[in-house]
Chain A
């Protein structure tokens, strides 16, 4: 029973973290679903965002400026991956791995060659923090400073901006680039440029999410983005499995990704709180679950005829 109580007590924290990672997952959605690119840059750019934000705060910048710059630095990492992919002709997945590897050194350099940088809530005015969550529960802070509330508002703003952007001429041409590159080029769309723009927006959001998590945890750490791509994919898949039948609208699909991330963290929290499993096995379990869910559409197409996965052509690749 005490285990269950501790799980319930941990739920607001899990939901807050899930919401923060949900913004990262929305970034992954842009590359994975819209551009049809599995971009592994995110494992590096997530930390880049956290490190940039922590270092800038320590240098006396205000939180808004620090997060805006974190977004831009993240977008720059996407630019590098896009350069490798489009200008140098390196396959997208390898381009992302190369950038990710290089970012490990850059992230350390950003943090002054240290593995982590403190971002203590005691010293700075932060947007979100585990401390604020505790304060709201104690009643010493107003509810609107609760991380769930703050990040939910941020998420809605992000979704609203993306919904608008992908409905514009440029945004629609980016969607066409991912849907069918041949068609896009035949309609005069510069597919290389669009892939770069998509990668920049995606990694900008990922870094922005990293900046939020660094605040929440009160530090940025060189390993904070490890496995981020898997968490992003898990959130996308969970959102898709649960909501694809009812959420047709693009904004709702993005919302489903965010909810997927929350569910992912609640499930992880449940495993940690309710079982005796060593939490070091969590990454293994995450990897296996994502592998399983990615296999299902393929199996459906291969072994069950007449489903929509069957005979799906891969035009434009």
Chain B
């Protein structure tokens, strides 16, 4: 479904601040894979997701989604294949627009924006139903401005919006990191439900190793701009946090364990 062929990305190339963020990164995702991604700060996790989404062009290598080469497509064109939820709850929704307006915008992802009505009566019923499934009471506040919602509500709404049009690929960039533990748990539950219901191919970055083990069918660990550990199936199910830490030490070639990584 997703094929990354040795992509490279250097930020601020040619300056003292040059940062080789992605180094010959390759990764292939099968249809229906739910991959959790862990790694220390600066390992290139978010950079990888942004490269897939087309936030910036890569320096070399190729990115294929469902066999199509999207390497040179701009971000907004790739969006027809990709659903995204960001770390910052403010980023995924338009605060000054209504809940239903946000959903109507998302429902038209990948379709031409015409002079037809931006939202129709028929759609509203569907949105209400989808919101009710979240169990956050948003179905009664369809015309509220999104800016009035809490961070958790906004992330749940963004998740719903990312999947209204079934994406070929769902990218979750630490989408629960900014939420309190209880809310984070709720959003993760919603994530599992939506992913399994729609059989979505998903990449989820997390800083929480228990979450990384508990969710998905495959786990990858990134270090220094590429994938260093890739476990799936039974092996992944039986992983422990301790084993993960050991794997990380081995992969990074030192006993030094990133503070962030232990934060679990």
Which residues of A pack against B, CB within 8 Å? 165, 167-173, 175-176, 179-180, 182-191, 313, 315-316
Beyond A186-B79, A189-B105, A191-B76, is A176–B94 a contact (Cβ under 8 Å)? Answer: yes
Contact (Cβ within 8 A) A173 B113? yes
Q: Is the CB of B95 within 8 A of A180?
A: yes
Q: Is the beta-carbon distance between A313 and B90 smaller than 8 angstroms?
A: yes
Name the CB-closest residue of A to B78: A188
Least CB distance from B92 to A in Å reads 6
* Chain B nearest Cβ from A261, distance in angstroms: 23
Against A, the Cβ 8 Å flags (1 = close, 0 = not) of B92-111 are: 11111100011011101111
A185→B114 contact, CB < 8 A: no
Determine the residue in chain A with the shortest Cβ distance to B119: A172
Greatest chain A CB density within 10 A among B91, B105, B162 is at B105
Complex alpha-carbon distance, A179 and B91, angstroms: 10
How close is B138's CB to chain A, nearest CB, in angstroms?
17
- From A165, A167, A188, A315, B77 is in contact (CB under 8 Å) with A188
In whole angstroms, what is the CA distance A173 to B107 when docked? 12
Q: Chain A residues near B117 (CB, 8 Å)? A: 167-169
**Which residues from A are CB-within-8-Å of B74?**
190
In Å, the complex CA distance between A186 and B86 comes to 10
Q: Which residue of A lies closest to B79 (CB)?
A: A188
State the main secondary structure of chain B at its contact with A: loop
Q: How large, as a class, is the contact surface on chain B?
A: 35 or more
Using known A-B contacts A179-B96, A186-B79, determine if residue A315 contacts B113 with beta carbons closer than 8 Å: no
Binding site for A on B (CB under 8 A): 53, 74-77, 79-80, 82, 84, 86, 88, 90-97, 101-102, 104-106, 108-111, 113-119, 161-162
Distance between Cα atoms of A176 and B95 in the complex (Å): 9
Give Cα A188–Cα B162 distance, bound, in whole angstroms.
11
23 A-B residue pairs with CB within 8 Å: A168-B114, A168-B118, A169-B108, A169-B117, A170-B113, A170-B114, A172-B105, A173-B105, A173-B113, A176-B105, A179-B94, A182-B86, A183-B92, A183-B94, A186-B82, A187-B161, A188-B108, A188-B109, A189-B76, A190-B76, A315-B90, A315-B95, A316-B91
Question: What chain B residues lie within 8 Å of A189 (beta carbons)?
Answer: 76, 79, 105, 113
Per the bound structure, the CA–CA distance linking A228 and B189 in Å amounts to 53
Please name the 8 residue pairs, one residue from A and one from B, whose CB atoms are nearest each other, closest first.
A172-B118, A188-B79, A179-B94, A315-B90, A169-B113, A188-B109, A170-B113, A180-B94
Minimum C-beta distance from A310 to chain B (A): 13
Q: Please report the C-alpha to C-alpha distance between residue A171 and residue B101 in the assembled complex, in whole angstroms.
A: 11
Task: Give chain B residues whose Cβ lies under 8 Å from the Cβ of A175.
Answer: 94, 96-97
Chain A residues in 8 Å Cβ range of B106: 187
